[in-house]
A = this chain, B = another copy of it.
Amino acid sequence: MIKARITVTLKNGVLDPQGKAIASALATLDFKDVAGVRQGKVFDIQLDHSDRARAETELADMCQKLLANTVIEDYAVEIV
């Protein structure tokens, strides 16, 4: 069994309205030191084999095809 974490975040320069909304909500809750918030996604994926190299290829392929919009998002694959 292989366990991996995929983190998908917006590319630098891409506007993050969700992050902005969170930042202003935090300000409303009196968190005055917040200079910026950007939100992303994590996917914890289990694969039922133990071939690391194959897993890395599969996971990158999953990002390309489904988990990330590679036009505006970056992804990072980490095998735990």
Q: Which residues of A contact B (CB under 8 A)?
A: 1, 7, 9, 19, 22, 25-26, 29, 31, 33-49, 58, 61-62, 65-67
Residues of B within 8 A of A26 (CB): 62, 66
B43 lies within 8 A of A41 (CB): no
In contact, A22 and B58 (Cβ under 8 angstroms) = no
Shortest Cβ distance from residue A66 to the other chain B in the assembled complex, whole angstroms: 6
**Contact A36 B31, beta carbon cutoff 8 Å:** no
The distance from the CB of A36 to the nearest CB of chain B, in whole angstroms, is: 4
* CB–CB B22/A43 < 8 A: yes
Inside 8 A of A37's CB, which chain B residues have their CB?
43-46
Residue picked from A46, A49, A61, most chain B C-beta under 10 Å? A46
